[in-house]
Structure formats: structure tokens, C-alpha cells
Amino acid sequence: MNKKRRTEADTTLAGLHHLLCDVFFRRRRFYYHIFPILSALAGCVFLCFVALSLLVSSPVIHHDHLHLTLFNGGSSRDRGIEHVSNSVLESSFDVPESGRILDRDLWATGQSSFFYGCSNASKKFPTAAEKTDPDRYLLISTSGGLNQQRTGITDAVVAAYILNATLVVPKLDQNSFWKDTSNFAEIFDVDWFITFLSKDVQIIKQLPMKVGKAMTPHSMRVPRKCSPKCYETHVLPVLKKKHAVQLGKFDYRLSNRLATDLQKLRCRVNYHALKFTDQINEMGQKLAERMRMKSKNFIALHLRFEPDMLAFSGCYYGGGETERKELGEIRKRWKSLHVSNPDKVRRHGRCPLTPEEVGLMLRGLGFGSDVQLYVASGEVYGGEKTLAPLKALFPNFHTKETLASQEELAPFSSFSSRMAALDFIVCDESNVFVTNNNGNMAKILAGRRRYFGHKPTIRPNAKKLYRVFMDRNNMTWGEFSSKVQTYQVGFMGEPNEVKPGRGEFHENPSACICEESDSKAKRIPLLLPNQTDDVMRNNNGYKETGKMTNDQTAATEDDQDWSGMEYLEIGVGLGEKRLANISDSDLGVQAKPERPELEELFSD
């Protein structure tokens, strides 16, 4: 019995031993197979981590490329201005440091040698001595910033000529958003202004005394775009009766379309009579010379990416609730502005480009990273984070504050108009001027540069470029650059880009630009590489011949003037009377009713 029990125990132990051995060897075979798999997976994870860490740093300068990380196929406006540098990487876009080699000169317009400014009065144009009534005095109060006031001064001279009146030196706006206390003589050379225009309009510094008493002018206002007939019908009778009339808020109060001799008078005022004071001009020329010392050619950019511009435009740049709140508070200054549709505004090309987009446009046009860039700008929304992509693309980045010492700028720094005048001079002296909106400074400089030799003036075709920026991660750099160059045809400051009479006269002074008699036989139509005449026509209606259909003309005008802004006016000045019940035929133009709460447009 005992022997039988021992045999059963031995059998049980043997079975247990075999079972344990079988489990042990099966587990060894399991680990033998699983360890290589785990090792391979770990290696893949490690390699992905290394690759991701190399790509995340942005921007990275390579030997021949600038690497900018972008997000979701969009621009910085889609990621949020405050997150330009910290977005999650999903794709990359390689931007070359050097510009694309083109078969044209980036620093000159192709046909400029055939055109020149011409603003002398014709022999049929009566002089001031022949037509001025000694008992009529016209006073005007300008409105807005420096460049809007410049348009008002220019039109005031023409209005005085129409009314056969003596013009009193215009009073500058000292109560607007700009809060600049400067008077006319502190910005412009008043003696030169009076002397240069003496054959056209008699100008005095102040109203004369009448029987030992100071004259009190009668205050009134005229509608915008008031034609010569409008002035003769509604202002002249008052002037004859009161002898002295003051026109308030005088900005864009004269029709855009005038007889040729009156348009030429506008040009004589704007391009010759209005000279900055010696102090302003010397400092501005000094800044321009310091840019030339750095390079033979330089670009001046009017960035105009300040909070007030963005708020007025109604655009959205991806900054989330913070941006909406900040810009929304600023937008409340204009009580009449309707609720904006940011997507629609951007699709229509009415949003300023971000600094990054401006830089990409310039690189796409062929300007390399070695270009010297002067930036005329106030406080940029988003600060240095917003400017970082532009500075990465164009590291030779300058402003008046970096070119001059605080001591040199001290006489100007407390006065916005004087500081704006310095920027105006440098932008005017630049080889290429780039504007990021179609406000007053952009229009006046565009017209001035046309008048003085058609120096290149680049205006972003924002309506077309918007689509390119949104889709740029789905194309090669070559494709991107080609599209930018195609869409910018007609927006580069070339002669005959704009049909005569189209756009604001200050931007397109066609009556004051003459063409050499034999130029048409010498001129060669300008086409960018791989472009056809059809591409140019489809872009914005422009052809070298200057011929357009009515539909194309309307499209061109819409594309080229996208600001859509007018200065906003709050209330009516004390003692002022508005002209009422004026028909369109009286005005000579299609008049738009003024909104009483409009104050000022931040477009200088």
C-alpha cells in the first residue's frame, strides 16, 4: 500500500515538473519574439521625436533658405497674432533668402522715361491779379492728420480761385485724434507757399482789419466732392454778402473731376508750393541719406498695422477673444460703423496685410533678404511678435528711431504731424515705396511719385493675394512667387496703370502727367515672365494700351481703392451752417450724405 502511494506521488510530481517546464519554455519563446518588436517600436518613436524637435524651431536660417513654420495652410492672421511663434507644427513653407531673378529692374518702372510731370498754367488761365475781388476772403479749417490736411490745403487754393477770393493761410486741425498743436508755419514754409502761388491766388496770413475792427468770418460747410458750380451757387452768394467765409472740416470738399487748368493748379500746390519747413526737410533728408549710405537702393514701407486701422477695417487676425475685445473698444469711437463681417471684408481685399504677408509679397516679387527696409509706422498691433516674421525675412530693418538719436528727434517727437512729415520725406526719397493701405499718405505719395518720374510704388492687390496666402502651403515657392508677380501687375506704379480720371486725383494726377510725342513708337509692352496679355487683362482690367471695357473699369476701380474709409466727424462746429437741399446736378457728382457722428478716418 505504501509503495503504491509513493508511485502515485512520483507520477504527480513528474507531471507537475513537465507542466512547469512547458510553461517556462513557452514564455521564453514569447519574450524571444516580443522583445525585437518592442525595440523596433521604441526606435521609431525616438526617430519621430528627433525629427519633430528639428522641425519645430522657427524661423531657421539655412545657407540658402529661410524656413518659416506655418499652421493649417494659413498666415499669422489665422493662427492668432500672439501665437505666431508658438503654433503647433503641421506643415512647412520654404522661403528663399535671395529674391527670384527676373528679366526686369526691380528698382525702376519700365516706361518712366517717356513720361514727365507738367503743371504749368495755360495762356488762357486768368491770373490772380486779373480776377481776385478785393472784398472776398476765404478761410478754411482742415481736418484729420498731416496728409488729409494736405489734401484740404490743396483744394482750398482751388476753391479760392473758383470764388475769385483771397485765401487766408489755412488753419490746421489741432483737435482731432492726432492732438497736434502745430500751426501751418510750423509744418510748411509759409512764405514759399504764398510767393509760389502769387500768380494764381492771392494769399495772406490773416484777415485784415475793417474800419479798425477785426473781421468776423461767416462759418459754413460744403458737402464732399462739391463741384465748381456747387461753390458758385451756394458759397459765392454768402461770400458776396458777408465778405469773409470760413469753411469747416475742409477735407475732400472739392470735386475729384475738374477742368484741366484747375487740376494743374492742384498739382502746383501739392507738388511745388507745399514745402516742409527747413528744419523738417533737413532732418528728413538726413534720414534718407543714412539709408542710402547703407545701400544704393532701399525700400520704404508704410506698414499701417496700428490698432486704430485694424479696428476701423473690421478685420480679424486670429487673436481670439482678446483681439475682439481690444479692437472692439477702439471701434466704438465710430458710432455709425455697422457690424463687420471679417471674412467678407478680407475676401474683398479690404484688410491690411500682416507684416509677415507684406514680407512674403516682397520676397515673391524678387526682393532678397539683403535689401535695406525703412518702415514708417506707429505702434504695431501685437508689437515685436507681430513684426518678427517680417524682420526674419528682411533683417536690415530700420525706422527713424533707429536711424536718429533721441536728441535729433526731440524737436519733432512731441508732434505727430512733424513725425509723419519725416516719414513722408523718407518714403518719397525711397527707390521703392510700399503701401499697406490706400489711405491719404499712400494716395498722395503714389501721385507724387508718378508726377516726379514714376518711381515704383507697390500697392498690394489684397483681393487676389488673400487667396494665395491662404493656400500657400499647398504650392511650391516657385508657384507662390509666380502668382504674386502675376497678381501684382497693375499695382507696381507703372505708367498708365490707372485709366485717366479713375481713382482719386491726388493718387492719379493724370492731367499733370505728359507723355513724349514719340513715346508710343518706342515703348515695349511690359510682361512678366510666363505672362500673357490675357493674364494681365483678367487680373484687374489693365492693358498696356489703356483700353478697358466698362465692366473691367469698374472692377479695376474697386480693386485699386479698397480702403472704403472716410474721416468720421462728430457733430457740427458751433456757428456752422450746413448746405441743405443741394441736388446732384448742383454738385456735379453723385453725392453721398454725410453722417452726423462721423469724426475722422485713421488712414494717414
Give CA angle at 160 (155, 162), nearest 5°.
95
Q: What domains can you pick out in the chain, each with its CATH number?
A: 128-275 (3.40.50.11340), 279-305+352-515 (3.40.50)
- Whether 288 shows a pLDDT value over 80: the answer reads yes
Q: Is 281 helix (H, G, I), strand (E, B) or coil?
A: helix
Q: Is 397 helix (H, G, I), strand (E, B) or coil?
A: strand
Q: Is 473 helix (H, G, I), strand (E, B) or coil?
A: helix
User: Across the chain, what does the average pLDDT equal?
Assistant: 78
Residue 52 banded pLDDT, cuts 50, 70, 90: low
432-435 β-sheet, strand order: 397-398, 372-376, 298-302, 432-435, 457-458
Q: pLDDT higher for 443 or 98?
A: 443
Identify the pLDDT of residue 66.
39
- Whether 103 shows a pLDDT value over 90: the answer reads no
Identify the pLDDT of residue 15.
58
Mean pLDDT over 213-222 rounds to 93
Residue carrying the nine cell digits 474800419: 211
Identify the pLDDT of residue 105.
83
Pairing of strands 65-70, 91-96: antiparallel
Cα 408 to Cα 18, 124, 215, 261, 412: the distances in Å are 98, 48, 41, 42, 9
Identify the pLDDT of residue 152.
96
Q: What are phi and psi of 141, to 5 degrees?
A: -115, 120
Identify the pLDDT of residue 527.
45
Mean pLDDT over 578-604 rounds to 40
User: 145 with 416: CB under 8 angstroms?
Assistant: yes
- Whether 341 shows a pLDDT value over 50: the answer reads yes
Q: What are phi and psi of 540, to 5 degrees?
A: -155, 20
How far is 479 from 476, CA to CA, in rounded Å?
5
- Whether 574 shows a pLDDT value over 60: the answer reads no
How far is 546 from 543, CA to CA, in rounded Å?
5
Segment among 38-42, 171-175, 225-229, 325-329 with least mean pLDDT: 38-42
Q: Is 292 helix (H, G, I), strand (E, B) or coil?
A: helix
How far is 242 from 247, CA to CA, in rounded Å?
13
Mean pLDDT over 38-46 rounds to 60
Identify the pLDDT of residue 41.
61
Identify the pLDDT of residue 58.
39
Residue 266: CB atoms within 10 A of its CB come to 23
Q: pLDDT higher for 337 or 151?
A: 151
Mean pLDDT over 9-20 rounds to 54
Identify the pLDDT of residue 579.
44
Amino acid at 125: F
Q: pLDDT higher for 396 or 541?
A: 396
Cα 498 to Cα 75, 355, 589: the distances in Å are 30, 26, 20
Segment among 74-78, 304-308, 409-413 with least mean pLDDT: 74-78
Helical packing angle, 462-470 and 355-365, nearest 10°: 100
Identify the pLDDT of residue 178.
64
How far is 357 from 480, CA to CA, in rounded Å?
12
User: Which of 477, 435, 483, 467 minimizes the C-alpha distance to 75?
Assistant: 467
The DSSP line for 107-163 is TS-TTGGGEEE--PPPTTS--HHHH--TT-EEEEB--SSHHHHHHHHHHHHHHHHHT
Identify the pLDDT of residue 88.
31
pLDDT tens for each residue of 423-470: 999 999 999 999 998 889 999 999 999 999 999 999 999 999 999 999
Residue 43 banded pLDDT, cuts 50, 70, 90: low
Residue 541 banded pLDDT, cuts 50, 70, 90: very low
60-61 β-sheet, strand order: 60-61, 65-70, 91-96
